[in-house]
Structure formats: C-alpha cells, structure tokens
Amino acid sequence: MVQTSEVVFKKEIKGLGEISIRPINLENDIDMLYSWVSKPYAKYWGMLEQTKEEVFNEYKKLEDNSHHHTYIGELNKQPIFLMERYKTSEDVIVKHYDALDNDYGMHILVAPAEKKIPKFTWHVFSTVMAYFFSLPFVNRVVVEPDINNEKIHVLNKKAGFVYQKNINLDHKIASLAFCTKEAFYQSVL
C-alpha cells in the first residue's frame, strides 16, 4: 500500500487555483473517503450500505493489488475527489473487450460541493484525464459507467470518449467507452 502524500500531478486552473492528485493514504483518508462513498449522490459507487470498516477493507484490497491505484484529488490542498486507475488487462473488464496493453481504466467520484463553482466537475475531470495521458504507459482510457449515470456520460463524451456497447457487470449494466490521447486533446482545444 502506498503511504505518501506526494503529489503525482497538478494543474493550475485560471480563477480556481491548483488541482493536485496524490496517492491515497488509507489510514488518514478513511473518514473522508467513507463520508463520500456512503452518501446518496455516490449511489453508482456501490458502497451506500457498507460500514467504514468494509470500505477500508475494500480499499486496502485494491491498494494491495499492484495493477490498481487510488488517489485523492485536492483543490488548493483541500480534498475534493477520489480517483482510481487500473490496468484493464488485469481487471474483470477484460472479459468484455480485447484489452490493449496500454489501456487503463478510470473511476472518479467528486465530493459533494460546499459551494457551486461553474464548470467545477469539468475542471476535475479534465485534470484527471490530463494526468492519465501524462503517463507514458497510457495510450487509452477505458470507462464503464452505469448506463443510468447521465452526468458522467455527459462528461465522458465532452472529453472525447467513444461509446462502444453496453456490458453486464456483477453490480450494474455499464456503457463501455474508450478515449485516446488524441481524442481528449482535440476535445479540449
């Protein structure tokens, strides 16, 4: 398990400040993490009924997997989102498409807003995508959001994701979508 608060990526957003990404420190972050994943807005995260101990154990298991990494995003050093990066060829998603070696999956959960900030979720989402494509081993980002999660579909399409098909996962029917570096950078121009 990574136990560091070292920033792995940061991006300055004009008029907003700095969005940074750091590895999760599960012991220090569990209270915050639990407060995020146990709220009704996080229903697509699938942890509404779990205890804090169950959430901790789930993330410990993820962090012990060398193909899965969890991060906390911060705005001006205040935690604002949870993000996961995983190698799709080493995940259950590989049963649903022919994974390429440089495919990485992404999950993102933005914390509930304390105040409304215009385009806030897009700033977070585009920062996460810029982080993914800053990694030399990532050529394509893969997502599998719940088919009913309309908000994330809007962000995905805005970022350049191309939807391929719906797939049945253990806990949801999901839309499988892919985004290349070129598609993302064309979408944000």
Q: Per residue in 36-66, pLDDT tens? A: 999 998 888 889 999 999 999 999 999 999 9
Q: Tell me, what CATH number does 49's domain have?
A: 3.40.630.30
Q: Is residue 2 part of a domain?
A: no
Q: Is residue 3 part of a domain?
A: no
Nearest Cα neighbor of 48 from 32, 36, 31 is 36
Q: Is residue 124 part of a domain?
A: yes
Question: Residues with Cβ < 8 Å from 149, sequence gap 6 or more?
Answer: 44
Model confidence at 69, pLDDT cuts 50, 70, 90, reads very high
Model confidence at 170, pLDDT cuts 50, 70, 90, reads confident
Give residue 26's Cα distance to chain centre. 16
* Full residue range of the structural domain in which residue 159 is found: 9-187
Q: Is residue 4 part of a domain?
A: no
pTM: 0.93
**Tokens 């060398």 — which residue?**
66
Q: How many domains does the chain have?
A: 1
Q: Is residue 98 part of a domain?
A: yes
